[in-house]
């Protein structure tokens, strides 16, 4: 049972280049999330999805797009990378139900360290 | 607005007890979570409170007071491996945001021998 898998683990981009980060989960979770983590800022929500075919904006969505064509995968795209997008990106997933039962725990991937030069 | 406050850094000695506080102001509330994050790694779940009171799990305990918007994580019998960042997070309980988690900036704990 792999849990949440993110690829790639590291990437260096030049300003203006594009890339896609892939997140895959094998726990049959309905909800999936993309966060970025910067020093002194904590985890900030970029986009999230409450089910296959649905996506929604989080706290810091500008410059990113997402897609959830399959329940187990959540893709994060950078169309034209900027130095301000240098960060560590974490994907997470959780069940949708079970509020109050603890079933809405988020499980995180190992992260993608992205540098934009 | 949405705000979660926790101390930036704490230091404690191996074998001691440390309490990490978290205060929150959110538009809704549907549970408070504590995560542990070692440097360069992913956050991992530690504890969950949705009702007032203390939840105990081995060396770790977490307390919640919803009326005060306050929680703490208590770590007993500290070990060197407990050196990590501890993240406080609130699950939004508003109708439009039931799916969202708001994270604090984390408390970096250093355990000294």
Percent residues over pLDDT 70 in chain A: 92
Q: What is the pLDDT of residue B92?
A: 80
B25-29 long-range contacts (CB < 8 A, ≥24 apart) are B25/B1, B25/B69, B26/B2, B26/B90, B26/B92, B26/B93, B26/B102, B27/B2, B27/B92, B27/B94, B27/B97, B28/B92, B28/B93, B28/B94, B28/B97, B28/B98, B29/B66, B29/B90, B29/B91, B29/B92, B29/B93
The residue among B4, B38, B43, B62 with the most chain A CBs within 10 A of its CB, best to mutate, is B43
Q: What is the pLDDT of residue A98?
A: 57
> How far apart are the C-alpha atoms of B76 and B91, rounded to whole Å?
26
Chain B positions contacting chain A at CB under 8 Å are 4, 30-31, 33, 41-45, 48, 50, 87, 89, 91, 98-101, 103-106
Per-residue DSSP letter, A86: -
| List of chain B residues whose C-beta atoms are within 8 Å of the C-beta of residue A35 | 103
Q: What is the mean pLDDT of residues A91-114?
A: 81
Q: Is it true that the peptide bond before A8 is cis, omega within 30 degrees of 0?
A: yes
Q: What is the pLDDT of residue A9?
A: 95
pLDDT at A100 over 60: no
Q: What is the pLDDT of residue B28?
A: 82
Place of tokens 């683990």: A9
Q: What is the pLDDT of residue A41?
A: 85
CB B89 within 8 A of CB B82: no
pLDDT at B99 over 90: no
SS3 call for B81 = helix
Q: What is the pLDDT of residue B2?
A: 78
Q: What is the pLDDT of residue B95?
A: 60
Nearest C-alpha neighbor of B82 from the set B55, B107, B49: B107
Q: What is the pLDDT of residue B100?
A: 81
Q: What is the pLDDT of residues B13-55, one digit of tens each?
A: 999 999 999 999 988 888 899 999 999 999 999 999 989 999 9
**B95 Cβ contact list (under 8 Å, min separation 6):** none
pLDDT at B11 over 90: yes
Nearest to A104 among B31, B44, B105 (CB): B31
Q: Does A45 touch chain B (CB under 8 A)?
A: yes
Kindly report the number of other CB atoms within 10 A of residue B58's CB atom: 7
Q: Is A56 exposed, middle or buried, given 0-12, 13-18 or 19+ CB atoms closer than 10 A? A: middle
Q: What is the mean pLDDT of residues B69-81?
A: 97
> How far apart are the C-alpha atoms of B113 and B14, rounded to whole Å?
5
Q: What is the pLDDT of residues A35-77, one digit of tens each?
A: 999 988 889 999 999 899 999 999 999 999 999 999 999 999 9
């Amino acid at each position: 049972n792999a849990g949440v898998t993110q690829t790639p683990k590291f990437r260096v981009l030049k300003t203006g280049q594009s890339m896609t980060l892939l997140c895959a989960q094998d726990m049959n979770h309905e909800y999936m999330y993309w966060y970025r983590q910067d020093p002194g800022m904590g985890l900030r929500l970029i986009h999230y999805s409450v089910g296959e075919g649905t996506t929604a904006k989080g706290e810091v969505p500008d410059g990113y797009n997402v897609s959830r064509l399959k329940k187990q995968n959540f893709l994060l795209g950078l169309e034209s990378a900027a130095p301000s997008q240098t960060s560590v990106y974490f994907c997470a997933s959780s069940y949708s139900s079970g509020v109050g039962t603890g079933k809405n725990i988020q499980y995180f991937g190992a992260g993608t360290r992205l540098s934009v030069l | 607005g949405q705000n979660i406050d926790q101390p930036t850094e704490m230091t404690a000695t191996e074998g001691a007890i440390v309490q990490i506080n978290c205060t929150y102001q959110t538009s809704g509330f549907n549970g408070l979570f504590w995560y542990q994050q070692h440097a360069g790694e992913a956050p991992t779940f530690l504890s969950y409170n949705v009702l007032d009171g203390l939840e105990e799990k081995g060396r770790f305990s977490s307390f919640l007071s919803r009326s005060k918007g306050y929680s703490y994580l208590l770590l007993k019998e500290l070990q060197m491996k407990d050196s990590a960042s501890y993240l406080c997070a609130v699950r939004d309980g508003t109708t439009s945001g039931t799916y969202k988690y708001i994270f604090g900036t984390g408390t970096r704990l250093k355990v000294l021998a």
